[in-house]
Chains A and B, each alone.
Chain A
Amino acid sequence: MQAVFWGVRGSYPTPGPETVRYGGNTACVEIGSASGERVVVDAGTGLARLGEVLAADGGGAEIHLLLSHLHWDHIQGLPFFAPCHQREARIAVHALRPDALRLAEIVRGVARHEFFPVALDDMAAQFDFHEVRPGAAFRAGAFAVRPFRLNHPFGAIGYRVSADGTHCAYVCDTAPFDLLLNKKHFLRGPEPLTAADRRLLQSRRAALIAAIRGCDTVIYDTHYTPDEYARFPHYGHSTPDHALDMCAGIGVRCVVLFHHAPNHTDAMMDEIDATYRARGAALGLEVVTAREGLVLPMGPGRCAPYLRSEAQR
């Protein structure tokens, strides 16, 4: 099994000379099996590039798209994904149904002609919407998928994805599970926790740990540095320290830092990378900082990670 990182940025895309090495596209990860099947996790702007590469290879007829949630930085690439415009393509969209509205209605409601050149209803591909329930495992082609709930405004889910006897997990977007609970409404700042909030946080934390236990690789929302997190704890993101704390001692081999804050330049990312590789090593964890074009083999017998050539990312 391997992961290919097409977009690693959080909040909004950050093109420009200061993000050339780690990349400016928003969240999109392709997970591939040894048999050549793939699931795509999240549909940020990185998805557009993946679509071009798939179209050039003549692939992409059958796509499983797992969405963590529907915030813009996780869906804004979908209308520009080449397979959406291919009549023979079937795109299965798996996502949480966050409220009384059906998932298909929500996606139609935002992928509309007022926001994108081609509205969802006018796309050639066939779309199937699958509402994911946390805890209810399902299959996506060659992959066994287990969704679990995260701590993010309006709800988000993580996925444990298994194939070839190897497990990996995508934990994004999420705040840690101690200080505050991200409820549905807009938070102006941290709010005091009720006893029921604390119980809910405890149960979600336990469910997350159960889901990532024994994973070869965990891709984790590490948007903030600790200083930034202290200022914005209610925005629903974590730090690399939170990720290491969650993954240490439960049989995880590798933690991938992911969903980099838009203000984090390549120079800052180099510092974060060095700091947390050392901190991870002390805890027995390999730390990899996600960058655009990174191909990360996972599981026993894996080869070393490498970067796709610039023309191919």
Chain B
Amino acid sequence: MKVRFWGVRGFYPASGGRFVRYGGNTAALEVVSDRGARLGIDFGTGAIPFGRALLGQGFGAGKGALPVLLSHTHLDHTAALPFFMPVFIPGNRVDIYGAASGPLRALLEALFNPHVCPINSLDNLAATIRVHDVVDGPVAIDGFVVEALRVPHGQATGVAWRIEADGKRLAVITAIDHPPSGPLAATVALARGADVLLHDATWSPSDNGPAGLWGGARTTAAIAVAEQAEVRRLVLTHHAPQHDDAAIDALVRDARAHTRLPVEAAIEGEVLEI
């Protein structure tokens, strides 16, 4: 199983020369199994280059089908849907899985509201878009064994995901507010024994400012989940747009000083072989 990081930033894209090493695009991942099954996670701006890359994989000819798991509906995880090239080509199929306070399709439809988006409606997309509301438990996706867990994230509903293929296990927890007392037990159970845990680590232990306002986890919470769940490797993601490359370097150094687990920060454009 391979994971490609198309976007690793939280809240909004970070542009400029100080952000090029870790990358500035918001959340988007591609997971490919050894047998070639593929799924996407989130529609942050990283999904725009991902969508372009898919055009060479059958999606350019309208012969593509892609399941996409949404971690939640904040714009840093959904805003690129109106710019995801495969949806403009008839014949393609995109199945979106997620959860929100109401029906997910109605929320995604609001992204296309004519006041804010000239496409006007999901129905104007040429591809077939199917939206699936998930509850806690298994989600049937070809080529993978997938488990969903709904978690609190601000006032929104987040979804943590576990994805298995080729005997490997990946846990993705990128939208979560853990309680001050420690990690949510259910997330620890979801991540238990994962080969790789990709966890929200927006903020360092000492960040203030927007850290209290915008939600998002601190590195300490990511480490606590990883250690309690006994994962093999922790990858930090959802980097704050205030953190330039040097700040993320420092955040990783600090995290490594606080755990014996292998820890790294997700880097846009890199492929992780699990």
Chain A residues in the interface with B (C-beta under 8 A): 9, 11-17, 19-20, 23-25, 45, 48, 52, 70-72, 75-77, 80, 85, 98-99, 101, 106, 109-110, 113-119, 153-154, 184-186, 235-236, 262, 292, 310-311, 313
Neighbour of B214 across the interface among A110, A114, A117, A184, CB < 8 A: A117
Residue contact B13 to A71, C-beta cutoff 8 Å: no
Within the complex, what minimum Cβ distance (angstroms) separates A235 from chain B? 7
- Sorted nearest first, the 4 A-B pairs with minimum C-beta distance are A15-B24, A24-B15, A186-B120, A13-B13
Instruction: Determine if A52 and B242 form an interchain contact, defined as CB atoms under 8 angstroms apart.
Output: yes
Q: Does B257 contact A (CB under 8 A)?
A: no
A100–B101 Cα gap in the complex (Å)?
Answer: 27
26 contacts between A and B (CB under 8 A): A11-B83, A12-B79, A13-B12, A13-B15, A13-B45, A15-B23, A15-B25, A16-B24, A20-B20, A24-B13, A24-B16, A25-B13, A45-B12, A71-B117, A75-B116, A76-B12, A101-B115, A110-B113, A113-B155, A114-B100, A114-B110, A115-B111, A116-B75, A117-B74, A117-B213, A154-B115
Residues on A with C-beta less than 8 A from B107 are 114
CA distance A76 to B76 in the complex (A): 10
| Inter-subunit contact B116/A71 (CB<8 Å) | yes
Which of A19, A99, A119 has a CB less than 8 Å from the CB of B155? Answer: A119
**Per a CB cutoff under 8 Å, which of A70, A76, A118, A153 touches B75?**
A76
B67 within 8 A of A: no
Chain B residue at minimal CB-CB distance from A11: B83
CA–CA, A23 to B20, complex, Å?
12
Whether B25 and A16, one on each chain, are in contact in the complex, defined by CB atoms closer than 8 angstroms, is: yes
B87-102 contacts to A (CB < 8 Å)? 100-101
Query: Closest approach, in angstroms, between the C-beta of B84 and any C-beta of chain A?
Result: 11
Judged by DSSP, the binding face of A is loop
Nearest-neighbor residue (CB-CB) of B121 within chain A: A186
Distance in Å: Cβ of B67 to nearest Cβ of chain A = 22
Number of A-B contacts (CB under 8 A): 136
CA distance A71 to B119 in the complex (A): 11
B residues near A117, Cβ cutoff 8 Å:
11, 74, 154, 213-216
- Given A15-B45, A17-B20, 8 extra CB contacts under 8 A: A13-B12, A45-B12, A45-B15, A110-B113, A184-B114, A186-B118, A186-B121, A313-B16
| A202–B166 CA distance with the chains assembled, in angstroms | 64
Q: Are B116 and A23 closer than 8 Å at their CB atoms?
A: no
Query: Beyond A71-B118, A114-B107, A115-B75, is A292–B45 a contact (Cβ under 8 Å)?
Result: no
Say if the beta carbon of B124 comes within 8 Å of chain A.
Answer: yes
Q: Which residue of B lies closest to A9 (CB)?
A: B15
Check B115–A98 contact: CB distance below 8 A. yes
Closest to B78 in A: A115
The reply to whether the CB of B143 lies closer than 8 angstroms to some CB of chain A is no
Interface contact B14-A15, CB-CB below 8 Å: yes
Asked if B19 is at the interface of the complex by the 8 Å CB criterion, the answer is: yes
Question: In whole angstroms, how far apart are the Cα atoms of A251 and B175 in the complex?
Answer: 53
- Distance from B50 Cβ to chain A, minimum over Cβ atoms (Å): 13
The chain B residue sitting closest to A71, CB to CB, is B116
CA distance in complex: A75, B100 (Å): 23
Assembled-state Cα–Cα distance A166/B103 (Å): 52
How far, in whole Å, are A11 and B110 apart by their CA atoms in the complex? Answer: 17
Please state if A23 and B16 are interface contacts (CB–CB under 8 Å). Answer: yes
Contact assessment for B80 and A115 in the assembled complex, using a CB-CB cutoff below 8 Å: no
Chain B residues with Cβ under 8 A from A70's Cβ?
A: 115-116
B82 / chain A contacts, CB cutoff of 8 Å? 72
